[in-house]
Structure 1
Amino acid sequence: MHGTALSGWLLVAVCAATGAYCVMRLRSDCARARSSAGGEALMGFGMAAMAVPAAIATPPSWIFAAYAGVFGAAALRAGWLARAHGNGGGHHLHHVIGSLAMVYMALSMSTPGGHAHGDHTGPASGIPLVTGALLVYYVGYVLTTGVRLLPVAGPAGDGGARGWGARPELTLACRLSMGIAMLAMLLAL
């Protein structure tokens, strides 16, 4: 990824912490939550690996093909789960888009220039169409997820003791963090 080493390491830390929390969510009693947590853990750790500053650790040339393969398989799995859940598979569709965005970034990073933009000159320069579409999608995703985190007045009470893996507000916060990290990665592409 392009950008400063500090921003790269901050992305690594946020994405790795999010991935670690999602691994904790794999212990949920709900099979649907476990399947979502597994995809999110893969995304968090994959984003952390891709965000490592190139000045610190130059990745081998084959790593981008490996990223594309892993996230291509994750997109197929998420698509299968979205199809199996029907109208309730909306979050799995988000995983499809996220996984395909990771494939796109891996392939973009594997080009000789290391980014999707190439050497544009003249009026055709600017953000490529796919990058722009992904930026628009993730801005919308971050805004809607952020709004869902706003407190809503409800009945008083503690709602019972819940473990760290069963806290919907933490799940939303992790999803928001990964959405913001994806925006940062797309902007740095």
Structure 2
Amino acid sequence: MRSQVAEQRRTAGGEALMGFGMAAMAVPAAVFTPPDWVWWVCAAVFGAAALPDLWRARKCPHHLHHLVGAGSMVYMSLSMAGSPGPHHHHAHGGSGTPVVTGVLLLYFAGYVLLSGVRLIPAARPAGAGSTADTGVTDSGGPGWGDRPELARACRLSMGMAMVAMLLTM
């Protein structure tokens, strides 16, 4: 969110919303069981978050991933809202459609593998690289808002969390 590029700040904001939502959904029912209406609110929030990505996905394929992620959160929220009994944690019931869960699980597992491969450092020729490539500003200090490896590592961890959430459905 500290980037000088507006699009990167918007993307980071969407990813932060997704991360906070995933963290809230991962709290075990033994710690806190919210009222049933909370899942409907979660579904509405993530549905609203998906709308801008639906429009932006036309130009940037990364927004398609955000759209799938937000749709997955809507799906999991609705699954928990529709499951009987206490259902704050995914493992409490066999909610959700197995085919949809399986497709999302395959998508995110593939995303995690691809993201992991992208984190492997590539050899660069001596003297190659620019400020955008290295994340170093003109003053020689790190430009933390524009470090692609940090963004990739965060996306990898969120993808792994999504896999874990889908596995428990």
| Pairwise TM-score range, normalised by the shorter structure | 0.7 to 0.9
Identity of aligned residues (%): 62
CA distance in 2, matches of 1:155, 1:60: 57
How do 1:88-99 and structure 2 match up within 5 A?
Answer: 89-99=60-70
**Contact between 2:42 and 2:74, CA under 8 Å: does it hold in 1?**
yes
Give the 3-state SS of the residue equivalent to 2:57 in structure 1: helix
Kindly report the root-mean-square deviation, in angstroms, between the aligned alpha carbons of the 2 structures. 1.8
1:32 shift after superposition: 1.4
Equivalent-residue separation in structure 1 for 2:84 and 2:4 (angstroms):
46
Q: Which residue of 1 aligns with 2:109?
A: 139
Structure 1 unaligned blocks of 5 or more: 1-25, 119-126
Pick the aligned partner of 2:153 from 150, 170, 173.
173
Matches within 5 A, 1:36-185: 36-83=11-58, 86=59, 89-110=60-81, 111-112=83-84, 114=87, 117-118=94-95, 128-156=98-126, 159=134, 160=136, 161-185=141-165
Please give the alpha-carbon distance, in whole angstroms, between the structure 1 residues aligned to 2:45 and 2:55.
Answer: 15
Q: Return the structure number with greater helix share.
A: 1
Secondary structure of the residue aligned to 2:142 is: coil
1:33 paired residue among 8, 14, 17: 8
Q: Which 5+ residue runs of structure 2 have no aligned equivalent? A: none
**Cα separation, 2, equivalents of 1:60 and 1:164:** 39
Change (3 A) 1:156 1:45: farther
Residue 172 of structure 1: SS of its match in structure 2? helix
C-alpha distance after superposition, 1:97-156 (max 9, x if no partner): 0000000100111121546735xxxxxxxx710000000000110011100000100145
Letter in 2 for 1:112: P
Whole-Å Cα distance in 1 between the matches of residues 30 and 14 of structure 2?
A: 29
Give the Å deviation of 1:75.
1.1
CA–CA distance in structure 1, aligned partners of residues 116 and 77 of structure 2? 27
